[in-house]
Structure 1
Amino acid sequence: MLKQLLKQARPTESGFPAFPTRKLTSLLLLSGLSSMALVPIACADTAQVSQAGQPFAIAAGPLDQVLNVFARETGILLVIDAELTTGKTSEGLHGHFDLRAGLDRILRGTQLQAIGQANGSYMLKRTQTVGQAAAKEETLPAVEVKANRTRESVTELPAAYAGGQVASGARIGMLGNRDFMDTPFNITSYTAQTIRDQQATSLVDVVANDPAVRVTTNGLTSAAGQGDGFMIRGFRTYSSDVLFDGVAGIAMINTFPVEALERVEIMKGPSAMLSGMGQRGGVGGTINVVPKRASEEDLNRLSFSYQSDRHYGAHVDLSRRFGDLKQWGVRFNGIYRDGDTAVDGQSREFSVATLGLDYRGENLRTSLDLGYQNTSTQAPTGAGGFSLFNISTLKAPQAEKQISQDWEYAKNKGQYVLFKAEYDIADDWTVYGAVGANWNKYQWLASDLFVFNNAGDALAQYYYFPGYNDRKSAQAGIRGQFSTGPVKHQLDFQLSKLWQENGYSFGNEYGYGYGFLTQLTNIYNSASINKPSLAGFSSSAPKTNTMELPTIALSDTLSMLDNRLSLILGVRHQQVKTNGYDLVSGARLQHYDESAVTPSVALVVRPLEKLSLYASYIEGLSQGPTASAGTINQDTLFPPIKSKQAETGIKLDLGRLAMSASVFQIEQPSGIRVSNGLSSVYRMAGEQRNRGLELNVFGELSSGVRILGGAAWTEAKLTHTENGVADGNHAPGVPRKQANLGLEWDPLLMQGLTLSGRIVATGRQYLDTANQMRTAGWSRLDVGARYKTTSWNRPLVLRANIENLFGRDYWSSTVDGNWLIQGLPRTVMLSATVDF
């Protein structure tokens, strides 16, 4: 039946497949019921509700039904004995409650109580009679309070929003964690629950939920030097620009193990004032990954996974807290995956170990994160994708078909360490600091393909590319609050610095690595050749360049009228120092030392508690370009590039459903080559101007129905091009339309079962500034099901997901002009997670 459904999916003229929705829904439901009918009923897997509580709107009704809804919304495992709940009702639950308070309110008047178990689950038991309670109270010993409650850090994570898929806030650079309603930018923070339920294995999988973000490269399957690559608001963001717990230069540059993360936070737009300039100066947005910390309750979690074709994995997640007030925390994550992927001939091995330690004292809070990662991909999908020459359109090859050679590989190994501390020097003032480092080594034996006709004929250029990337990062500051009359101030002063050293090998015949072999091939029917000899090629790369990024920043958030009006002012001074070195002698050939000031101003107005209006201006900063070869000022380094963004928006929080709309304009200068008769000069004269509208929605449509998605419309225009020949044309690689819609449904006829679906759609993209080459629009459907139950009184979650259900072949994105990136094939994912 599934095969028949797949055949019925045919592309429409709009580029979107006509999905047989009714048959598909029936098939998923029938499959779930038939395969899980004999599994014991349960309510949810273990997850924690923040101490700050979360909103509830559970209607009154039979006690067991109310408890089931509560368990589903909080993510706890609640073991219910039908004999205890039969005939009992509950008044429901309305308002903000933490986990314990919510359970107590639901059970009020039922003579039942919920008792926490060692494995993190809860079990219903009868309460004691009044006489028993009184007798026990008389014999209770006196309790002496030995310490005050530890002060909560301003960096504590915001609580999960209703439905648990996203958080109610995110870290906004040096402003710290802020509720999304009080943030003058478009932000989304995806939770660990979303990562688990979607079986995400990299940042690429997580950002697929966001309508304003598209993936340019996948660091797990390609040999691309930038690793995971993203297009946010029409501008590229690289994995090297990803922040780790708010600090630059710590995250892995290839890809990151999201199973070890608590949150993946995305802020759209430039962020130079908030976070400083990144290694490669991402303009469209900033991604911050938040590592897991030890939970309040002990956790022993083991997961086993499978991905098509024959890719198996295991993940262990252990958490402990120690001390009389549980001040000390330890969190360990170990991940290992190996086997064949859904692409023919491709295999991947991935091993990760992370350790998070933290201390929560009354005035002092510290954390230490350590990580190791090793990735090896055989027959990767290439470095930059496919480069086109004078081809208006090109059909995408079959995604599961092997194009690269069996002997091609991409190997990446890295480690990181980050220590952070903050100390309360007074009731309202805290000093803080961070220091960390990241070391990466890589070796790629891979190819680039240059396609020159619609038949798919291409020139394959093979290269050997060893290199390394070492980074160090430091941060120090002071933050506090005070009042001037009716105005409250939140001040933050920060110093930071990022050091980086790169090394890689150049070849005489090819610009990237040792180019030593070319071959005519075809992307639809690739020819095999023997592995070339690497004799005489060194696997150690010399130092090629260094970069230092020292900054100083100051921000002030002014709040008044009971926080209904907030004005955020900030400024950062950024220096950019780079050096280039001779590959043979090691002598310094180039030196660059420039600086720039990037201000920001934002206003947030809360006329109603559920309504937020905002407007903001912020700038981005990128390293200046180098004059291209053949110009009279060849190799000239230009000052840092400032990008400017103006944004305004509206946000609505209905308690269990949130919506937002934002409009923005980003202007980024660019360099162009200007002809002067017989010669040409490279100068900063061009500009790309992106204007857009973004809509976002998340939360619960109703009890048991969750939504996550939105839409983005972007008009990316070129201005001030050479002689004006491309003025008004659409910028390459920027789709006009993008949309995501994800739904989850918990059918009442089977407690513990969840069905999910997600549609990802992207409009066409131009490949060149003349707008002569373009790709077709595409869409894909992802589906999933999960079942939460118990096994031997242990919480068990079974998950099944299929990405690209109908196996569409498409070009997912374009980068750097005429380079095409191929979409991934249909991929089946299965997993079982047990807490023990």
Structure 2
Amino acid sequence: MKKQQQYRNWLCAALLVSLPFTGYAAEYQLDDIVVTGVRVHEAPISEHNEVPGGQVARTADYGVLGNRDTMTTPFNATTFTDKTITDIQASNITDVIAMDASTNNQTLSGASQAWAIRGFRAQQQDVSFNGLHGIAPRFYTGVEGIDRVEVLKGASALLYGMSPNGSVGGNVNYVPKRAKQGENQNSIKFTYGDGKQFGQQIDLGARTADNKWGVHFTGYHTNGSTSFKDEKINTNSAFLGVDRQGSHSRFYLDAGYVYNNIENPQYRLQFSGITNTKIQDNYIGQNGLPKADHNAKYGLPDTYRHVTEKFGVARYEYDFSKHLTGFAALGMRETKMDYVYNDFRYQAKGNAQYRLHNNNHINKAISAEAGLKGRFQTGSVKHEVTGVATRLAWKRYMTNETGEWTAMNKLTANTVSNYDHSYGWGAALNDSNLLTGVALTDVISTKDDKWTFVVGGRYQHIKQNVNTSGKTYKEHAFSPAFAVVHKLNDKTSVYANYMQGLTAGDLVDNNYANDGEVLAPYKTKQFEVGTKFNTGKYLTTVSAFQMEQAGTLVETRNGREYLTSGGKVRNRGLEVSVAGEPREGTRVMGSVMFLTSKYHKSLASYEGNDVMGTPRWQAVARVEQDIKSVEGLSVNLRANYQGPSYIDQWNTYKVGGRVTWDLGARYEFKGFGGHPMTLRADVYNVFNKDYWNAMSNNPAVYVGKGRTAVVSLETKF
């Protein structure tokens, strides 16, 4: 009740503060103002750069290269707009990026979301915020304060630097909401569904008459049970974005606060004792995988996760001249978490077991970057040279206590109760981490802009102090990159790139016999070729890639498991994506990926096998159609396909493929007082299909949601 009252106070305060701005902006008709200079990370506020249909944008933030148009950029990226986020009624980041078949949902619990890009696992900790790593909420994945979600597919060490958790398959970047010129962003939305969750959201945005200053506020609250048994979520969040657009400078300030409480979350089902031989008395060998059932519960009662996130970023850009721009950014984040959770697994002979964990966690991060971007010409060749220095430091104060494995009589965890998880709070400094680096790039283009070359490199230094083991680890690496894009004509471009991804040596945890060991860093090498088509009605990208990662390997010695860096994984794939409005009133968006992911250098027992949790085929397609006979009414249909994938590295057992269907409708109309209103209704997994998601980090599966529905009503004022 206290948190809800605080939330109401925030909304009231935001309304009072925004009323003068709202009235001021409504009183005058603003003229378009063109801001000159080199914008490093932002697209001009007055620029409408969406592909027809408004579902994706033509531009993306490419880190050190800044905001660029996709047709002149030799990389594969998808930028999902606020329209897509709102129309699919996304509640978290995995809902959004699921619209791209190059991503694969790797969520392992109702409280911990993850995904893979091009077959390589990533987590929320590696999401960048307006191009800056380490600042986005560490554990919270809601998108209510986000205007755009940019998904860069492929290695990106040069562009963004090494991510905090070492993701190499791509990068997800949040673009925060800000006040937009000539657009009414004042709205209230009520949402109900995905179980019995009731949510309220308010957005307030305004700009001054001269368009120099803008303020945007988002307040959000949701509470109620989800579609998984006994799982409940309570969230309060607030996001503030302020910007100033000057003739020679630009300033941005973004801040956020999140309180997220999840009770009795669902968890993955793990397996132990799987080998490359199907043992006759093995439960799985006798009966196959347990049947997927979205009504089953693998989370123990009275487990929970309480998270508080506070973060903010300030960015300043100054044009020294029309040829030279300086930029700097500073961000800070503090995360506090109290987490009581469980493991739930099957042993080889069919015995069900559980064990409890209590994780008390404080994470503090400071992230900064500074650089110069200059433009000049040598003969008929144009250059855009950028030099940038980055620094990301974070500390973890953590106590992670683990209980003993306890046998159960049944697969379901519903019968377990009355256990003790009263571990004490006493989080000491667990580890401190420092990533520093410098990058230099030159974007070289011909006078007619038909050829563009990107050359550059990043020097990355890694330092880790592991207090629990007393070890200090220092290492560095250099990651070069080369890329080229050629515009065949105004509608077609072809491109190629060589990029690297960099991952710090893993800190081995107590799940392995070599607990506390720090593994050497390893690189991921990527080769990619592709083509892009922009017909004016839709945008299509086709790419082929190979990524080879030197990664971890679990080795068994004398019956004990060790985590080492002796393995290699090779991913080869083909991607096709399309988005646009081929004819007025018909909007399409879809993609497909074919991927072969193999253990290239590994133990002989699974050398050449498919990497677990990586399906060969993935596809998603969404069609939205306006109903001409009913003004304001649109209906949509989405199909989601994921092929079979193995649950273990020996490729002994696999989960089957699946197709799920989603249906939705949107109705726009004038409400009381002539205010625009939008009613949205969506049903997901219409045919209530039960299915497993296979995990890529260990033999485990996570049950998918059954049929759910969400209804929302939004009004602008």
Whether 1:563 aligns to 2:443 is no
Distance 1:205 1:658 in 2: 22
Give the Cα separation in 1 of the matches to 2:489 and 2:698: 46
1:581 pairs, out of 454, 467, 471, with 467
Matched residues in 2 for 1:438 and 1:621: separation?
23
User: Deviation of residue 680 (structure 1)?
Assistant: 10
Deviation at 1:386, TM superposition (A): 3.1
Alpha-carbon distance, 1:122 to partner: 14
Q: What's the CA shift for 1:118? A: 9.6
Aligned to 2:169: 284
Range 520-529 or range 327-336, more displaced: 520-529
TM-score, scaled to structure 1: 0.77
Counterpart in 2 of 1:205? 95
* Residue among 580, 592, 601 paired with 1:699: 580
* Structure 1 unmatched runs, 5+: 1-116, 124-144, 507-512, 583-587
Name which of 342, 359, 362 aligns with 2:247: 362
Q: Which residue of 1 aligns with 2:504?
A: 623
Deviation of the 1:475 alpha carbon: 0.4
Structure 2 partner of 1:487: 381
Letter in 2 for 1:313: G
| Whole-Å separation in 2 of the counterparts to 1:120 and 1:400 | 50
Q: Does 2:533 correspond to 1:649?
A: no
Aligned partner of residue 405 in structure 1, secondary structure: coil
Query: Closer, same or farther in 2 for the Cα pair 1:308/1:693, shift >3 Å?
Result: closer
Give the aligned partner of residue 329 of structure 2.
434
Q: How does 1:344-743 map to 2 (within 5 A)?
A: 344-382=229-267, 384-390=268-274, 391=284, 393-452=288-347, 458-506=352-400, 513-515=401-403, 518-524=406-412, 526-532=414-420, 534=422, 537-582=423-468, 589-625=470-506, 635-672=516-553, 684-722=565-603, 724-743=604-623
Q: Residues 321-378 of structure 1: CA distance to partner in whole angstroms, max 9, x if unpaired?
A: 12x5221111000000001111222211011101111111111111111100011111
1:811 and 2:692 matched: yes
Q: Which amino acid aligns with 1:529?
A: S
Report if aligned partners of 1:203, 1:255 keep a CA contact under 8 Å in 2.
no
Aligned length: 676
Deviation digits for residues 632-663 of structure 1 (CA, Å, limit 9, x no counterpart) = 98744333111000000011111011212110
CA distance in 1: counterparts of 2:382 and 2:415, whole angstroms: 69
Deviation at 1:202, TM superposition (A): 0.7
Could you tell me which amino acid in structure 2 is paired with residue 387 of structure 1? F
Q: Structure 1 vs Structure 2: percent identity of aligned residues?
A: 31
Question: In structure 2, how many angstroms separate the alpha carbons of the residues matched to 1:387 and 1:275?
Answer: 36
Which secondary structure does the structure 2 equivalent of 1:274 belong to?
helix
Distance 1:464 1:674 in 2: 28
Structure 1: how far apart are the matches of 2:374 and 2:126?
A: 28
AA matched with 2:417? I
Aligned to 1:251: 136
On the 8 A contact 1:576/1:640 being kept in 2, the answer is no
8 Å Cα contact 2:382-2:447 kept in structure 1: no
Whether 1:770 and 2:650 are equivalent positions in the alignment is yes
Following the alignment from structure 1 to structure 2, what is the Cα–Cα distance between the partners of residues 670 and 818?
17
User: How much does 1:151 deviate?
Assistant: 5.0
Q: CA deviation at 1:683?
A: 5.5
Give the distance between the partners of 1:229 and 1:173, measured in 2 at CA. Answer: 22
- Structure 1 SS opposite 2:144: helix
**For 1:402 and 1:636, how far apart are their aligned partners in 2?**
35
Is the partner of 1:279 in helix, strand or coil? coil
AA of the residue aligned to 1:424: D
Equivalent-residue separation in structure 2 for 1:188 and 1:673 (angstroms): 34
Return the letter of the residue paired with 1:311: Q
Name the SS of the counterpart of 1:240 in structure 2: helix
Whole-Å separation in 2 of the counterparts to 1:359 and 1:232 = 35
* One-letter amino acid matched to 1:321: R
Instruction: Report Cα offsets for 1:729-756 as digits up to 9, x if no partner.
Output: 1111111110111110012111211101
Contact 1:741 1:759 in 2 (8 A): yes
Tell me the residue number matched to 2:701.
820
CA contact (8 A) 2:185 2:206 kept: yes
Q: Do the aligned partners of 1:313 and 1:338 also contact (CA within 8 Å) in 2?
A: yes
For residues 382 and 484 of structure 2, what CA distance do their matches in structure 1 show?
A: 15
- The correspondence of residues 285-324 of structure 1 with structure 2, limited to 5 A, is 285-297=170-182, 298-322=184-208, 324=209
Match of 2:625 among 745, 748, 760: 745
C-alpha distance in 2, partners of 1:527/1:766? 30
Aligned counterparts of 1:448 and 1:636: Cα–Cα separation in 2: 23
Gaps of 5+ in 2: 1-22, 275-283
Q: Would the alpha carbon gap of residues 636 and 462 (structure 1) be closer, same or farther in structure 2, given more than 3 Å must change?
A: closer
Deviations 1:248-307 (Å, cap 9, x if unpaired)? 011011123312111000001110010000111101110001001111245320001101
Q: How far did residue 452 of structure 1 move? A: 3.0
Matched, 1:800 2:694: no
| Secondary structure in structure 2 of the residue aligned to 1:181 | helix
**1:185–1:472 Cα change, 3 Å:** same
The answer to whether the Cα contact below 8 Å between 1:316 and 1:333 also exists between their aligned partners in 2 is yes
Give the superposition deviation at 1:170: 0.7
8 Å CA contact 1:416–1:436 kept in 2: the answer is yes
1:183 & 1:430 partners in 2: Cα distance?
Answer: 21
**TM-score of the superposition, structure 2-length normalised?**
0.89
Inter-CA distance 657–413: structure 2 relative to 1 (3 Å threshold): same
The structure having more radius of gyration, on CA atoms, is: 1
Distance 1:764 1:248, change over 3 A: same
The SS at the match of 1:196 is helix
Contact 1:257 1:352 (8 Å CA) reproduced = no
* Equivalent-residue separation in structure 2 for 1:148 and 1:558 (angstroms): 26
Is 1:159 aligned to residue 53 of structure 2? no
Aligned to 1:187: 77
CA 1:712–1:521 in structure 2 vs 1: closer, same or farther (change >3 Å)?
A: farther
Cα gap change, 1:521 to 1:217, in 2 (>3 Å):
farther
